Structure 1
Amino acid sequence: MRAIQIHEYGGPEVLQRVEIDVPKPAPGEVLVRVVAAGINFMDIHTRQGKYRESRTYPVRIPCTLGMEGSGEVIEVGAGVTSCRKGDRVAWCIAWGAYAEYALVPAARLAKLPDGIDYDIAAAAIFQGSTAHYLLEDVAHIGAGSTCLVHAASGGIGQLLVQLAKRRGAEVFATTSSPAKAAIAKSLGADHVLMYEDGAFADRVRDLTHGRGVDVVFDAVGRTTLRDSFRATRTRGLVVNYGSVTGPMSDLDPYELGEAGSLFLTRPRLADHLADVETVQRRADDIFAAIQQGALHIGINGRYTLDTVEAAHAALEERRQSGKAVMDIA
């Protein structure tokens, strides 16, 4: 079978097209014929080596890239009872989707409803599950809540805006250009702001009569995090779920007290996908919202195993808003 692997860390040039044998599922694993794979920043970070020592995401080289995909179950390993041959499934946080076949832990698989196409499933399962746990488990967003979503035109940002509005929250959003602001506004954001070197925090304070928002969802990292503190109400929550502009290496917990006794968390999806029931519950909620028309998944880039380098380059250069997928079958 064809697959995209890395044998060293680096730029898009380290991606290798290889021919390897179709694997056999071990106990607890499932062999899936991949129809579509999502393309994510986690794929970029894997290629760059950011998870080389991670315990939460223990992916090591050499490896087949792709941590999100969809397809059809071909074979199940011993002890697997949650799915069977012929099931339509999607998964995330299990590497190997940049290939014609993938081995996936059964505990990571969610079954697809008939009305969800494979490409939509591959585009939605990782970012949808991420937005779901951030809103439901971490921030407890509900009617009357106020939240600020950074990078609101990006893949997860778009879903956070839509799902937060669906829960009755007032949503503030930040973007880096008028075109991206229009995307956030079209998805329902109540207030769309430019970053303006941190001036967004002052605008949030003005718009909330000095109070600040209950929760900030910050995937940007180093260039926004301290200003996110300024935009958050006393005893509010800052959720740093990504570090696109780099990590904070000089943060003193004293700053959280000075900013108003804030809570700061750096969660990871893997810790919120504890079992197959949780995986399926999150997927069911996301797919139901899509089918009801309450959640739009924008696929803004389509690639193949032969053009995946272009996808990685587009993500690294921030030329890709929304979601990119790879059509494999």
Structure 2
Amino acid sequence: MQSIRVSRPGEASELRLEQIGQPVPGPGQVLVRNTAAGVNFIDVYYRNGTYPAEPPFTPGQEGAGTVAAVGEGVTDLAPGARVAYASQLGAYAEYTVVPADKLIAVPDGVDLTEAAAVTLQGLAAHYLTHQTHPVDDGETVVVLAAAGGLGRLLVQLAAARGATVIGIASSEAKQSVAREAGAHHTLGYDGFDEAVRDLTGGRGAHVVYDSVGAATHLASLRSLGRRGTLALCGLSSGAVPPLDIELLRGGGSLFLTRPTMKDYVYDAESLRAAGEAVFGRLADGVIKPLVHAALPLQEAAEAHRLLEARATTGKLLLTL
């Protein structure tokens, strides 16, 4: 089968298409024939060595397709079933072996390519808006990188919960995308903290979802109102340096969290409940994915270059 392989950490050029043997599912595992794989910043972190993986490895954390075969002990899935998965390394390939308890059933009314476009970031957007900070009607929510894959979903889910959403994006074109997703106001990055204060009559936001990290975290803190929450949900500009916690006291008894999927979607029950909610929101039109490009598998390196250059609006996919 065809697979993208990384033999050593490095630049996007380390993503190489290779022909390798088709895997066989073991006990409790399922072989998935991928229709599409999502491209996410976490894939960049694995490729460049920020997150460790033993080379050679197949990157990719998110995919959707059909069950090709099941291993011993798997009784609730059969060949042909439509499934999606997230946080399972190996999606940049024609076939991926996935533990059965990491699979989510994709409803018949949901396109598999759209499922691949929302699974990982949809699960993240769901726990961020429903658990990390349960967004409430009438709150003010700030979303950074609001035209990106995760950002658009955060905008959509927060708006659906009755919040006033302020989207931050780097260009007027991207701000337009954020408004189309449901943002009530959009701003550029320059001085966005002061602009948020102006828009809220000096009160500040209830929560800021910041997926940018090093370049923006201080402005994000300054955007918050009393007892507001900064949810650092990505590091696209680099890791946040050590922080003086007195900034939290001085800013209004603020909360700071660095949420990760494994602490919110941590077993089969929580995964399937969250997946059902995400695909339900997709089916009823609350979540509307925007696919920037669907590239063939062999163009994985180009997909990473586009992502790292912040040259995308919405989601990048690899199709198989």
Contact 2:37 / 2:63 at 8 angstroms: preserved in 1? yes
Deviation, 1:324, is 1.0
Alignment-derived partner of residue 56 in structure 1:
none
What is the match of residue 39 of structure 1?
39
- Deviation per residue, 1:6-26 (Å, 9 max, x gap): 010001111122211111112
Following the alignment from structure 1 to structure 2, what is the Cα–Cα distance between the partners of residues 83 and 273? Answer: 21
Matched residue SS, 1:270: helix
Q: Which stretch of structure 1 is more off in the superposition, 73-82 or 236-245?
A: 73-82
1:54-79, CA deviations, whole angstroms, 9 ceiling, x for partnerless residues? xxxxx432211111001111222233
Q: After TM superposition, give the deviation of residue 85 of structure 1 in Å.
A: 2.3
Q: Deviations over 1:105-136 (max 9, x none)?
A: 11211001111111101111011111001011
**Amino acid of the residue matched to residue 321 of structure 1?**
T
Cα distance in 2, alignment partners of residues 60 and 260 from structure 1: 44
Q: Per the alignment, in what secondary structure is the counterpart of residue 182 of structure 2?
A: coil
Determine which of 281, 285, 288 is the counterpart of 1:289: 281
> In 2, distance between residues paired with 1:271 and 1:5?
28
Alignment of 1:27-106 (within 5 A): 27-52=27-52, 59-106=53-100
Amino acid paired to 1:269:
M
- Gapped regions of structure 1 (runs ≥ 5): 53-58
- 2:119 alignment partner in structure 1: 125
TM-score of the pair, normalised by structure 1: 0.94
Q: CA deviation at 1:83?
A: 2.3
Scaled by the length of structure 2, the TM-score of the pair is: 0.97
Tell whether 2:129 aligns with 1:139. Answer: no
What is the 5 A alignment of 1:1-329?
1-52=1-52, 59-196=53-190, 199-328=191-320
Cα distance in 2 for residues equivalent to 1:201 and 1:81: 53
Alpha-carbon displacement from aligned partner over 1:268-302 (angstroms, at most 9, x marks no partner): 11222222222222222222222222221011111
Cα distance in 2 for residues equivalent to 1:325 and 1:212: 36
Counterpart residue type for residue 228 of structure 1: S
How far apart, CA to CA, are the structure 1 residues paired with 2:151 and 2:42?
15
Q: Secondary structure at the match of 2:297?
A: coil
**In the aligned structure 1, how far is the partner of 2:263 from the partner of 2:242?**
25
- Partner secondary structure for residue 147 of structure 1: strand
**Using the alignment, how far apart are the partners of 2:273 and 2:23 within structure 1?**
29
Deviates more, 1:14-23 or 1:208-217: 14-23
State how many pairs are aligned.
320
How far, CA to CA, are the matches of 2:87 and 2:299 in structure 1? 23
Query: Separation in 1 of the partners of 2:183 and 2:266?
Result: 31
Partner Cα separation in structure 1 for residue 61 and residue 257 of structure 2 = 23
Query: Does the Cα contact within 8 Å between 2:4 and 2:298 map onto a contact in 1?
Result: no
| Counterparts of 2:116 and 2:257, CA distance in 1 | 27
Percent identity of paired positions between Structure 1 and Structure 2: 42
Taking the aligned partners of 1:279 and 1:60, their CA distance within structure 2 comes to 26
- Shift in Å, 1:171: 0.7
- For 1:171, give the aligned amino acid: V
CA distance in 2 between partners of 1:14 and 1:177 (Å): 30
Moved over 3 A (4+): none
Choose 271-280 or 105-114, whichever is displaced more: 271-280
Aligned residue type for 2:207: V
